[in-house]
Structure formats: structure tokens, C-alpha cells
Amino acid sequence: MLSVFSSPSRYTQGKNATESLGREMERLGLEGPVFIIAGTSARRELAATWKLTLGEAGFTYTVYAFRGECSVAEIARARREAEATKARVIVGAGGGKVLDTARAVAADMDLPVVNCPTLASSDSPCSALSVVYDEHGAFEKYLFYRRNPDLVLVDTAVIAKSPPRLLAAGMGDALATWFEARTCVGGNVRNMRGGGSTLSAAALARLCYDTLLADGVDALRAVENQVVTPALERLVEANTLLSGLGFESSGLAAAHAVHNGLTAIPDTHAMYHGEKVAYGLLVQLILEGQPRTELETVLDFLTRIGLPCTLAGIGIQDPTRAKLKAIAQRATAPGETIHNEPFEVTVDAVIDAVLAADAVGRVSRDSHPSPQ
């Protein structure tokens, strides 16, 4: 097996980075017309800056108002409009669904893509894949693209104004990166690009975890006060770049598969991706029989950040056998990343670990009555 490391061509981050969007695109040799797929808040916050920065760099552009769901119909609609403008580069600006749509449209049209996340809520912006959900919000499949984004540009002044819960969710997603990478590296299994891991990807995954523990609480406080601090800068890099490179180039294991399982029941649909991944991580650590001290470090972090660590916390007030079975069956479906674990994972083992995670999570929650 060859080792494969996959990353965006360029990653640019900082306060008011949007002001440099045109120059960064120009430096990469990208050419217009530009087709911007943008969510509502991105249009409100960034439209005036796009006019300046893209105008200065000589790009003509069109802004497309994203309609809220990364569905097959929305991808087709955006593509038709992009074709009508003779677009030569696609820019996605907004949350995860906007960026997923932008990557899908760019892949369909074989065009370069620029991702400008307005949230640091997941590990997806740097990757060459999208997660597709059905119309009920249940995980459907991963969609893989040939190329990673040409540019990922993260404006931390925009992230500082985003809801704190979404930054915390991004930390939940990023928290699993190192543990899933460690499992994949240990088992010598294939990463998300079909190759083996590298020293680089594993080191970045570890740095992701260390950065979360060091800066997570301070970064959350910065966003609660809508300010940009060095801790927030480091944490945004961990949630977006380190977690993205770590998961794509080292691989996923039980935590994300349990997330996919949790989406199989409607109870969890109000919860964010990273909140469910955080719970999935507890399940993974229990399945793997990891030491108590490691579990306690993770639980302590989740509690301090205010991330859920119980079934009730992720919306499952009444964990019936039928619900647990639906979760475990989806999590262990053929091809799921849970099979990257170095032992056979059965439906029963997942049900037991899901319940055991809830039990340790309740003890942790009750011993830290108020978050932080």
C-alpha cells in the first residue's frame, strides 16, 4: 500500500482574511468569471468586501443565494446557473452545506474551488469529500472528489461572530481526529484517499488534539465575546486545517461511524455533526477498552466546553432497544469506518458501548454541574 497525503493547495487564515480573497486567488493563477455560492449570513457580512477585493484583482463575479440544503436538486440548480455565467472558478462561502454544495458543483464542472467557511464547526472545508444526507437528515453516503480545494480561506473575524455552540461542535469533531487517526495508523488501514497514513498526517492529528486541550476553553470564551485572540486563531486552525488533514490523510474509525449511526434516528437531528462525533468518540474509547485516565481527559474536556456526553445530551431521552439497534446497525453497516478498528465490531458490542458511554457521561456531567 502506498502512503497518500492529501491537502488543499493553499490555506489562508486570519482576521479580515476576506479582504485578501481576490489577491490570494490571483496568486494561485485562478481566472474568472467567479461564481460564489453563499449562505444568507455570508452574503450579509461579506458582500461589500467581495466587491472590493474581487474588483481590485480584476475578477467579475456572480453571487448565488444558497437555498439551505446540499441536495441533488440544489447542486443541479447551482450548476445550471454557474454554467450560464460561464464560471471558471467556484467559491463557496458559508457553513458546511454551502461548502459541500460548492465542492460538488466544482467537481461536476471540473473547475477549481475556493472554500471560505464562516463557521469553524467541522473538519470538512479542507477535504476532497462531501457528506450527503437524505431529505430527513440521515447520513446517506460520502461523495469523493478528485481534488482538494485550491484555496481554503478562513476569516477569523467572521468566525468570532459565529454562534459559540458551532465552534464547540467543531471541537467535538476535531477531538475525535487524533483517536481515529491513532486507530487507523495502528491497524495499518487505508485512509480516506485509499492510501496509508504518513508521519505528517499522524503528527498533525496529534497537534490537533493538543491544541484543543490547550486553547479550547479560551477560544470559546473569545467567540462568546466576539473577539479574535491568538487562542482563537490556533483553535480555528485545529478545527479546520489540522482536523481536516488528520482525518482525510490518516483515516476515520468508530467515532464517525457511530455519528452516522446516531443520524439513523430522528431524536438526534437537532444536534450538530461535531456534537454527535464527540459522543461517538466516547463510544470508540470504550469499545477499544482505552485506559480510564484517557477517557477522563476526554470527558473533562467535553464537560468544560459544554459538549454533550450523555444520550439525553444528544437528544435521546428514551434509549429503547429498537433505537439502540438502529444506531448500531447503521454504525456497523458494510464499508463503515468502524471496521477500521483492529477487532470485529458487532451490533451488540456497539449497543453495549453506547450505553456504557452514557453511564460514564452521566457521572462526569453530575460531577461538573455547570459547564466551565
Residues near Zn ion (CB under 5 A): 123, 173
Q: Residue 79 or 276: which CB sits closer to Zn ion?
A: 276
Q: Min. distance of Cβ 86 from Zn ion in angstroms?
A: 35
Q: Residue 123 or 150: which CB sits closer to Zn ion?
A: 123
Query: Within 10 Å of residue 188's Cβ, how many Cβ atoms?
Result: 10
DSSP string, 282-339: HHHHHHTT--HHHHHHHHHHHHHHT---STGGGT-SS--HHHHHHHHHHHTSTT-GGG
Q: Min. distance of Cβ 298 from Zn ion in angstroms?
A: 16
Pairing of strands 34-38, 151-155: unpaired
DSSP-H helix ranges across 122-163: 156-159
Q: Residue 45 or 173: which CB sits closer to Zn ion?
A: 173
Q: Is the peptide bond before 33 cis (omega within 30 degrees of 0)?
A: yes
Q: Annotated catalytic residue: which of 123, 150, 215, 259?
A: 259
CA 203 – CA 206 distance, rounded (Å): 5
CA 112 – CA 151 distance, rounded (Å): 9
Q: Annotated catalytic residue: which of 100, 123, 215, 273?
A: 273
Residue nearest to Zn ion (CB): 173
- Which residue carries 461579506 as its cell? 46
Q: Annotated catalytic residue: which of 215, 256, 267, 358?
A: 256
* Residue 3: DSSP 8-state: B
Q: Min. distance of Cβ 34 from Zn ion in angstroms?
A: 28
* Residue 269 appears among annotated catalytic residues: no
Q: Residue 35 or 301: which CB sits closer to Zn ion?
A: 301
Q: Min. distance of Cβ 124 from Zn ion in angstroms?
A: 7
Q: Min. distance of Cβ 261 from Zn ion in angstroms?
A: 14
Report the run of H or E that residue 109 belongs to, with start and end: helix 96-109
Dihedral angle of Cα 206, 237, 175, 92, to the nearest 10 degrees: -130
Pairing of strands 89-94, 61-65: unpaired
* Residue 256 appears among annotated catalytic residues: yes
Q: Annotated catalytic residue: which of 173, 215, 267, 358?
A: 173
Q: Residue 79 or 256: which CB sits closer to Zn ion?
A: 256
Would you name the residues annotated as active-site residues? 173, 256, 259, 273
